Amino acid sequence: MSESKSLNYLNLHVLISHSPACLNRDDMNMQKSAMFGGVRRVRISSQSLKRAIRKSDYYRDYLGEPSVRTRDLKKLKDKFAQVPLLKEKYSRELIDEVIDRIAGTGKFLDDKKKKDKNKGESTKAERESQAVAPWSVGEVDRICEIVSRAKEQGLDEKVIEKQVKEAARALCETLAQCALDIALSGRMATSGLMNPVDGALAVAHVITTHAVDSEVDWFTAVDDLTEEDNETGAGHLNTQEFGAGVFYRYASLNIGQMRESLGGASRQEVLDKAAHLLYLFSTIVPSAKQNTFAAHNPADLVLASFSAIPLSLANAFETPVRRDVRGGFITPSIRSLETYLEKVHKGYGLTEASSVFSLWDTSFQPRMASVIELMEWVRSDGGRP
């Protein structure tokens, strides 16, 4: 178990206490929740957390531009036509054509859409992809290059189509050509030439370690001009559910899958990216209602481990954590995590290379003085030569 190649998974466990907030809502404007251990927990969906991470400034600064997720190809064409990497090298017509080629739209309709069109159904299929899909500027750039060169050589359409299809099979070959979030979250290809990608990162829905009784804020918006006329009453009345608690976040990175998705990247390249993912999972919070609640709370504890299997510790909180004598949940949550992990290691004979950063007392060792040190520990493959 000591060899790096056998420790294929990087597991990230985060405990983070949020002050009153409503960070993720459902269609009824109520904060999302889940039943676990027979009690209601406040929940933040994995989709919400992943989106907040990939749209963050830190992500752009250290991991590059994220993909553009859309099914509206007209807006996508308008956006990509203004991207310097594409705008400076190709005509607008070529960029539009390549997007249609990849999506199987316009005059490059795939077989299914051609059948739908022949049945007299809406021509919407000619301008939209079948589902929201992640688009990478690097991928479009690569296909533009191929089509542009083929046309300069005077090749006919059948030859161009063959070259494009061959290139599309390897669109995610390098870090430069594939937005990293596509390699992390994966991509399901529903039509056209867009190739499917298996996601390397599994992210759990975030839940509180304890039961939560949500509260409802009855709020008003005062009309200043009405107030100046000495009239009573509000310009707007509404309610907003909110809650507070200690949340458990979990994610697992399949290092081998990540290397494959990035066209054979080295383990060290993946670990360099993983270190930044650790920082993001420790600090990024969904933006919902933050101007109202400002729950900008960093993690209280971050545990990273290299393991032979993905390993969630959510069951440490299947029995809801109870407040300690001082009334808080963070200390007993840490204790529950420590106790459960020890039981799992002993019961299954698991060996992990792990390290922790914590703002609170913990028995986890080795303990790093900062998240930055923990990031360096991840980069060093858990300190192994």
Q: What are the distances in angstroms from CA 146 to CA 18, 125, 151, 194?
A: 50, 25, 9, 15
Lowest mean pLDDT among 212-216, 270-274, 343-347, 368-372: 212-216
Domain parsing of the chain, residue ranges: 4-45+205-214+242-379, 68-185
pLDDT tier, 2 (very low <50, low <70, confident <90, very high otherwise): very low
pLDDT for position 228: 66
pLDDT tens-digit readout, 145-199: 999 999 999 998 989 988 888 777 665 555 455 689 999 998 886 556 777 788 9
User: Among residues of the chain, what percentage have pLDDT more than 90?
Assistant: 58
Query: Would you give the distance in Å from CA 13 to the centre of its chain?
Result: 15
Say if residues 297 and 3 touch (Cβ distance below 8 Å). no
Lowest mean pLDDT among 39-43, 107-111, 333-337: 107-111
**Sequence-distant (≥ 6) Cβ neighbours of residue 142 within 8 angstroms:** 167, 171, 177
pLDDT tens-digit readout, 3-20: 345 899 999 999 999 998
Say if residues 301 and 15 touch (Cβ distance below 8 Å). yes
Q: Which of 192, 215, 90 is nearest to 147 (CA)?
A: 90
Q: What mean pLDDT do residues 283-290 have?
A: 87
Strands 128-135, 201-203: parallel, antiparallel or unpaired by DSSP?
unpaired
Q: What mean pLDDT do residues 99-110 have?
A: 84
Residue 33: enclosing H or E segment and its boundaries?
A: strand 33-36
In a 3-state reduction of DSSP, which class is residue 122?
Answer: coil
pLDDT for position 119: 53
Quote the pTM value: 0.87
pLDDT for position 92: 96
Q: How many residues does the chain have?
A: 385
- Does the N-terminal peptide bond of residue 366 adopt cis geometry, omega within 30 degrees of 0? yes
Q: Which of 234, 233, 232, 238 is nearest to 219 (CA)?
A: 238
In a 3-state reduction of DSSP, which class is residue 254?
Answer: strand
pLDDT for position 221: 80
pLDDT tens-digit readout, 347-371: 999 989 999 999 999 999 999 999 9
Say if residues 286 and 48 touch (Cβ distance below 8 Å). yes
Q: Which of 47, 68, 75, 50 is nearest to 194 (CA)?
A: 68
pLDDT tier, 115 (very low <50, low <70, confident <90, very high otherwise): low
Lowest mean pLDDT among 214-218, 230-234, 248-252: 230-234
pLDDT tier, 116 (very low <50, low <70, confident <90, very high otherwise): low
* Bridge partners of residue 241, in order along the sequence: 216
